[in-house]
Amino acid sequence: PVRETVHKVIDTVVGAVSGDEHAGEIPGRPGSAPPSLEEPTEPRPPLPPKPDQSGPAVLSATGRPLDEPPTARSQSGAYLTTAQGLRLPDSDHSLKAGPRGPVLLQDHHLREKIMHFDHERIPERVVHARGAAAHGVFRAYGTASTVTRAAFLAKDVETPVFVRFSTVLGSRGSADTVRDTRGFATKFYTSEGVYDLVANNIPVFFIQDAIKFPDIIHAAKPHPDREIPQAQSAHDTFWDFVSLHTEATHHTLWNMSDRGIPRSYRTMEGFGVHTFRLVDAAGETTLVKFHWKPKAGVHSLVWEEAQIVNGVDPDFHRRDLADAIEAGAYPQWELGIQVFPDTPEQTFEGIDLLDPTKIVPEELAPVQPIGLLTLNANPTNFFAETEQVAFHPGHLVPGIDVTDDPLLAGRLFSYLDTQLTRLGGPNFGQIPINRTHAPVNDMLRDGFHQTAVHAGVAPYKPNSLDGGCPFFAGSQEGGYVETPVQVPAARKVREAPASFDDHFGQPRLFWLSLTPTEREHVISAYTFELGKVYEQAIKERTLRVLARIDPYLCEQVAQGLGLPAPAAEGPLPSPVPSPALSQLGKAWPVTGRIIGIVAGPDGDLDAVRTVRQAVLDGGMVPLVIAPVGGTLAADGGTPVTVQRTFATARSVEFDALLLAGTPAPGADAYGARDAKAGNGTPAGAPVDPRVLLMLGEAFRHAKPIGGWGDAGPALTAAGVDPVAPGVVVGGSGEAVLAEVVRLLAEHRVWDRFPTAAGVV
């Protein structure tokens, strides 16, 4: 009987019908041989169709189509229901024995509602917990086709993507603009399966071996006793570790530079950090490093600004990304590769390509653009998409392979493992945001949260019962065939290669590549962070590290800490600086930048209308700031909508500030119309102190400031020197705006920063 059943199944599989002249043939292949009891060796359509091949949840377990109404999916139907689809007459009151009586245990709706709520939270990511994401599209230029067979990198191929940006250290609810590394993880839903490029905004990492990851993260996370500080590196354990484990020096220096406090996710570079191996159609290999280059330019906050933002708008980066996309100012990055020959040494110009604490300067290996990423849609639901997305550096496609970087090897284990706890089981690939857009026939079965209704009886290979399905794919069929890279004959050791030993040469290269302004920011950052450290020994040890980067850096930080500066131990190298590492000295498009226009009720509203329109026409965002909300229409013209009041506005939101003058001298342009006892605003003050605060901050943070009409005295009252660089007064509103926009292209008025230690 078993044999009989087997025959019956095979007959079904190949569509054999008694009396049919094609009995036993493989459908679509007239004359093909009838099946034997051996495992079939030729690919054929699997039967019966497996719902999971087009994604789970197409049919219910009883075969009911779920995408036709009424369905069991969320938010369908007009009535509130339980999870079982029972319509509810009330969700405001528990079932009680009388209005003042005890609540009854039989109230299933109450229990289901509370039970579900109790379990709404899932564990946050152990690192990169705080993030924001967006959907988009990646269009390949085709320039990478010479080095990789990856289908999504072929000319003009468009691939849907989901990108999640993050901070590393803070909890899910922490502030966005802390000093930290940023994650930049991209999921490409390619025709050959999901490819994840799980990158950071800093091109090097703290450690060279994954086995140190728990150490660096334990050191950087809040202290285990009091769980402070949140999302900060300015504390003893972080500096204790990085001063002892000096391979962290390079990454730490990047963190202390302006790269640690990006202005926006839109103005961050991204780096794959590790070296990857690309494989072309002929099997030839090339080593590469991936770079994301923002079209809006690389731009950062200054430290005081970042600190203020943490208080006034902890969601600053998240809001900025979502607002830009909603406004149609779609953020864009070019993906590029640095290309190196795949030699047995895996070095380039003496730089070990397997050492993730090293960069290859772009001047030695230019970044070659291979495609354009555009983020064009916000997620519909934060939890379903941004929170549940699961990236993995091992999600690769044919044409992209890993190298033996020991940090990467550990990551290839970690990302699968962490999802088991975070997403509650092994089926997280079925969560909609994680689903590949390629057909899936994986033979993985069951487990927590299994949503696929798998058909067939043979989730194993070899089989004959499922017609031998699914079949293996060689590289001709798009199969992922590992590159047969030669593994060196070696002893088993716990050792790093000697080429990993230099921990200070590249930090010095980075330092020497920065402009004086950027170096002052680095000095201030170290001085601030170490100033928060309690243990004297840690400060002194860090100064010895700094002495190995640069004597001026060390002296300035030592001075700020009130400690003696140690001398460098031996001569310092003189690497050729890499100008590409500096963020200054270039001009960028101003699209999407935010211009604040301060206007009082008696201000020159005509000019405000014109300037506002000109800002919009320039692709920027005008925000009118006035004493109170509502509209400004004192001149009887078209009302001007107020977007920010003196109470809700703060300089940090704006890339540039404009002051609308008054048509009549002596009128109350920025006065305290809403002055009330207790809000700190002296009634009748000529210029509201909150306006003075805004101007003073914008000036200190080197933002372009413009004013027309009689704006001059207000600027002076705020301590803004009207002849300082980047302060534009006089002329018409439009002329002032034109100059301010010209300045904005360089992101800040860099000349305004003093280049002595002690600046913000």
DSSP code of residue 562 = T
CB of 354 to ligand HDE, least distance (A): 13
Pick the binder of ligand HDE from 415, 480, 528, 552 (CB under 6 A). 415
Contact status: 418 vs ligand HDE (CB under 6 A): yes
Which of the residues 13 through 42 are near ligand HDE (CB under 6 A)?
none
Phi first, then psi: what are they for 277, rounded to 5°? -115, 125
**Chain CA centroid to CA 158, Å:** 21
Which of the residues 682 through 741 are near ligand HDE (CB under 6 A)?
none
Contact status: 364 vs ligand HDE (CB under 6 A): no
CB of 171 to ligand HDE, least distance (A): 13
**Chain CA centroid to CA 297, Å:** 16
- The stretch among 11-19, 120-128, 367-375, 671-679 that binds ligand HDE (CB under 6 A) is 120-128
Contact status: 231 vs ligand HDE (CB under 6 A): no
Contact present, 348 and 567 (Cβ < 8 Å): no
CB of 180 to ligand HDE, least distance (A): 12
Question: How many beta carbons lie within 10 A of that of residue 63, not counting itself?
Answer: 8
By annotation, the residues acting in catalysis are: 128, 200
Pick the binder of ligand HDE from 40, 46, 131, 566 (CB under 6 A). 131
Contact status: 433 vs ligand HDE (CB under 6 A): no
Question: How many beta carbons lie within 10 A of that of residue 436, not counting itself?
Answer: 18
Which of the residues 250 through 309 are near ligand HDE (CB under 6 A)?
273
- Tokens 């040469």 map to which residue? 505
Contact status: 200 vs ligand HDE (CB under 6 A): yes
CB of 590 to ligand HDE, least distance (A): 29
Pick the binder of ligand HDE from 189, 195, 239, 391 (CB under 6 A). 391
**Chain CA centroid to CA 239, Å:** 25
Pick the binder of ligand HDE from 53, 145, 159, 166 (CB under 6 A). 166
Query: With respect to ligand HDE, which residue has the nearer C-beta, 411 or 650?
Result: 411
From start to end of 395-482, where are the E strands?
Answer: 400-401
- The stretch among 141-149, 304-312, 383-391, 746-754 that binds ligand HDE (CB under 6 A) is 383-391
Residue 37 has, within 13 A of its CA and on its CB side, a CA count of 7
Count residues binding ligand HDE (CB under 6 A). 25
Task: Give the DSSP letter string of 485-496.
Answer: PPPPP----S--
- The stretch among 197-205, 236-244, 456-464, 489-497 that binds ligand HDE (CB under 6 A) is 197-205
DSSP code of residue 137 = E
Q: Residue 8 and residue 15: Cα distance in Å, rounded?
A: 10
Q: Residue 163 and residue 146: Cα distance in Å, rounded?
A: 26
Contact present, 445 and 426 (Cβ < 8 Å): no
Alpha helix segments (H runs only) across 387-469: 406-422
> Residue 125: which of 238, 193, 225, 221 has the closest Cα?
221
CB of 353 to ligand HDE, least distance (A): 15
Helix, coil or strand: residue 255: helix
> Residue 373: which of 570, 239, 197, 231 has the closest Cα?
197
Contact status: 525 vs ligand HDE (CB under 6 A): no
Report which residue's Cβ sits closest to ligand HDE. 183
CB of 364 to ligand HDE, least distance (A): 21
Phi first, then psi: what are they for 633, rounded to 5°? -155, 30
From start to end of 153-281, where are the E strands?
Answer: 158-167, 182-190, 193-200, 270-271, 276-279
Contact status: 527 vs ligand HDE (CB under 6 A): no
CB of 202 to ligand HDE, least distance (A): 8
Q: List the x/- string, 176-195, binding to ligand HDE by CB under 6 A.
A: -------x-x----------
CB of 209 to ligand HDE, least distance (A): 8
- The stretch among 153-161, 411-419, 458-466, 686-694 that binds ligand HDE (CB under 6 A) is 411-419
**Residues with Cβ < 8 Å from 193, sequence gap 6 or more?**
395, 397, 436, 438, 480
Contact present, 469 and 443 (Cβ < 8 Å): no
Q: 179: which 2 tokens? A: 């000093």
Contact present, 356 and 405 (Cβ < 8 Å): yes
Q: 573: which 2 tokens? A: 């190298």
Q: Residue 166 and residue 182: Cα distance in Å, rounded?
A: 5
CB of 186 to ligand HDE, least distance (A): 9
Contact status: 125 vs ligand HDE (CB under 6 A): yes
From start to end of 280-412, where are the E strands?
Answer: 285-294, 332-341, 347-348, 351-352, 368-377, 400-401
Q: 566: which 2 tokens? A: 């140690």
Query: With respect to ligand HDE, which residue has the nearer C-beta, 199 or 509?
Result: 199
Pick the binder of ligand HDE from 16, 140, 390, 590 (CB under 6 A). 390
Q: List the x/- string, 202-221, binding to ligand HDE by CB under 6 A.
A: ---x----x--x--------
Query: With respect to ligand HDE, which residue has the nearer C-beta, 126 or 745?
Result: 126
Pick the binder of ligand HDE from 407, 546, 669, 727 (CB under 6 A). 407
Contact status: 126 vs ligand HDE (CB under 6 A): yes
Contact status: 414 vs ligand HDE (CB under 6 A): yes
- The stretch among 104-112, 115-123, 237-245, 412-420 that binds ligand HDE (CB under 6 A) is 412-420
Q: Give residues in contact with ligand HDE (CB under 6 A).
A: 125-128, 131, 164, 166, 183, 185, 198-200, 205, 210, 213, 273, 389-391, 407, 410-411, 414-415, 418
